[in-house]
Chain A
Amino acid sequence: MTSRLGSVMRGLGVTVLVALAGFPIYWLFTTATHTTGELFGGHVHLLPDLGRFATSMRDAASGVPMLRWLTNSAVVAFGTTLLSLAMAILAAYALSRYRFRGKGVFGFALFATQMLPEALLVVPLYSIFLTFGLLDNLGGLVLSDTAFAMPVAVWILKSAMDGVPPEIEESARVDGCPRYAILPQIVLPLIAPSIAAAAVITFFDGWNEYLFANTFITDERKWPASKGLASFVGEFVTPLNHVMAAALIFTLPAIVFFLFVQRRIVSGLTAGSVKG
């Protein structure tokens, strides 16, 4: 009885949440599928014009190198994710499992990286990137985006590792698992969901980053999608339906792809686990 009531309650909760959080997305979609005349004609069109979907997408993508922008963003986003996770997993393990001198300072420093407004970072970083020849370089964007994304990943993973009882590691070692294999084979599979969450978060940090991209990349062939999308915002008039259609083109493939990959990450990591 309780359980049925519970699931009804949850169904209701999910529906309400999805409806509220989903409304701006629905509205973005609806706006993308109407003509300017319909949007500004004085009536509110509550339903998307599904028949126009393909046309609006084509219109938005016409005359701009959409595929190239998406590819560039993908490079930046994947680079950021991989680099962030690689460093974060190691650092998180140290924070979770060891006591060492300077641990507090390091932990605080991770938060400190999140404190400085971009406005103050972009000037010195530009200077550093100029010196190292990293301007107009997607690799440079990976480096700057990782500086922000990685500390967040460290904390997500550290919290997750804190939840893994050390007894599991002990018993694995007793079972003959070599020390270097503990982290990849015992700990990581157990925190697979958190790794996946950190991956989603860092991925979209890189995918959407705009300020550094705008300042560091001037070569149009290297623009990421975020900068491409901003170029739809005109000096005189911003075509709302085109911007929204472009926003969907930039967001949907990434999100679909990512949800698919996320499942693979979790199942892949879990499959390799040695049950403690």
Chain B
Amino acid sequence: MDIPAKAGTGVEAPKPRAHRGRRLAPYLFIAAAAVYLLLLTGAPLLDGVWLSFTDTQLLNPTGGVYTGTGNYSSLFSDSAFVHSLLITVIYSAATVIGALVVGTTAAVAINGAFRGRALARAILTFPWAVPTVAAALIFAWIYNKDSGVLNHALSGAGLGGRGWLVDPTWSLFAVTLASVWKVFPFVMLVVLAALQSVPDELYEAARVDGADALNRFRTVALPFLMPTLRVTALLMTIWSFRRFEVIWLLTQGGPVDSTNALVINVYREAFVNSDLGRSAAMGVVGLVLSTIVTVIFFYVDRGAARKEAL
């Protein structure tokens, strides 16, 4: 699974007689990062996979006994677990799409000079910067059924309030909205940076050709942004599979399991029920989901890069 360099930038494969240093160079460049990650995340990752085949308890993390695929078969015979996979997929899809749309729109909107840009940018970066615990508390307060400002506004408009966090019809929506708010600045910051690298000449040329703003974005900026957007979408997806704090702080997976995403179960198994083995098995299922998405991404990315090269 080789990542193709983007069209036009690919440096040709090293020639047979290339200087030894030239061949070694990439390894030197990645050495620090690779060793670092191997130690700090590779080891726990392998540990987690191993734990998922044992009956390890949180209070005795080295005393687990190998139980084969016992954890997995018990998971997949549990309808609540299968339901939580579904919740995870819905939550992730909605959050990723929401964050990409809002983030990209925000980046396009504040790209370029206008009065109050610094303030707009500060406000739009704020959700990323505010601690999650404060974000969860403010959303719980806005969503509050009896005293929240949202229901006051809705009642004022004659629409009537809703139990945003206590009614299973609305809870997943409410949690997703809070999540999109918290993470869209990531998309915005990355896309904004990419937009600023679009050469001005390209815009000029399009302007001379008489393209309007929307067309200029579509024909000039978007192709430039696509690689960035694809990577961002992948990261957002992986993060959504394991985003925990917002959901836990707002609903703990309730009401009646309506927001019970996979990662909530991972946490509950490990830290409430102390069953590290089962928790790890759930984590590995999440890992497999993420891996599938990542592999799809690499194929799409490769295909897209080829197409862009034509």
Answer whether A and B are interacting partners: yes
B44-52, B70-78, B89-97, B252-260 - the one binding chain A: B44-52
Given contacts A21-B184, A28-B130, contact A103 B2 (CB under 8 A): yes
Q: Say yes or no: is A159 at the interface (Cβ < 8 Å to chain B).
A: yes
Q: Which of B1-24 contact A (CB under 8 A)?
A: 1-3, 5-6, 8-14, 23
List A residues at the B interface (Cβ < 8 Å).
2, 6-7, 9-11, 13-14, 17-18, 21-22, 24-25, 27-28, 31, 39-40, 42, 44, 46, 86-88, 90-91, 93-100, 103-121, 123-125, 127-128, 143-144, 146-148, 150-152, 154-156, 158-160, 162-166, 190-191, 193-194, 196-197, 200-201, 204, 207-208, 210, 225-226, 229-230, 233, 238, 240, 243-244, 246-247, 250-251, 254-256, 258-259
CB distance from A197 to the nearest CB of B (A): 4
**B106 and A17: CB pair below 8 A?**
yes
The one of A164, A193, A210 in contact with B193, judged by C-beta atoms closer than 8 angstroms, is A193
Q: Per a CB cutoff under 8 Å, which of B125, B133, B244 touches A229?
A: B133
Q: Is the CB of A193 within 8 A of B192?
A: yes
Instruction: Report the nearest A residue to B180, measured CB to CB.
Output: A21
Measured CB to CB, the closest approach of chain B to A2, in angstroms, equals 5
Of the candidates A90, A163, A191, the one whose C-beta lies within 8 Å of that of B30 is A90
Q: Is the CB of B227 within 8 A of A90?
A: no
- B134 to A243, Cβ gap below 8 A? yes
B122 touches A256 (CB 8 A): yes
A104-B1, A226-B131 in contact; A14/B109 too (CB < 8 A)?
yes
A interface secondary structure, majority: helix
Residues of the A chain whose Cβ atoms lie less than 8 Å from the Cβ of B34? 91, 106, 109
In the complex, A88 Cα to B29 Cα: how many Å? Answer: 9
Report whether B197 and A160 are in contact in the complex, using a CB–CB cutoff of 8 Å.
yes
Partner of B134, one of A2, A7, A17, A247: A247
Produce 1/0 per residue, B186-198, CB < 8 A to A.
Answer: 1001101110110
When the two chains form their complex, are residues A87 and B36 in contact, meaning their CB atoms are under 8 A apart?
Answer: yes
Within the complex, what minimum Cβ distance (angstroms) separates B284 from chain A? 9
Chain B contacts with A in 255-299, Cβ cutoff 8 A: 263, 266-267, 270-271, 276, 279-280, 283, 286-287, 290-291, 294, 298
Instruction: Indicate if the CB atoms of A99 and B5 lie closer than 8 Å.
Output: yes
**Who on chain B is nearest to A203 by CB?**
B129
Chain B residues within 8 Å of chain A by Cβ, number:
106
Contact (Cβ within 8 A) B40 A108: no
Which residues does B use to contact A, with CB under 8 Å? 1-3, 5-6, 8-14, 23, 25-30, 32-34, 36-37, 39-45, 47-48, 51, 58, 61, 102, 105-106, 109-110, 114, 118, 120-135, 137-139, 141-142, 147, 149, 152, 181, 184, 186, 189-190, 192-194, 196-197, 212-213, 224, 227-228, 231, 234-235, 238-239, 241-242, 244-245, 263, 266-267, 270-271, 276, 279-280, 283, 286-287, 290-291, 294, 298
Give chain A residues whose Cβ lies under 8 Å from the Cβ of B3. Answer: 95, 103-104, 107
Nearest chain A CB to B108 CB, angstrom units: 8
Extra inter-chain contacts (10) besides given A114-B235, A116-B44, A121-B48, CB under 8 Å: A27-B138, A90-B29, A90-B30, A94-B27, A94-B29, A99-B13, A125-B44, A156-B190, A156-B231, A196-B193
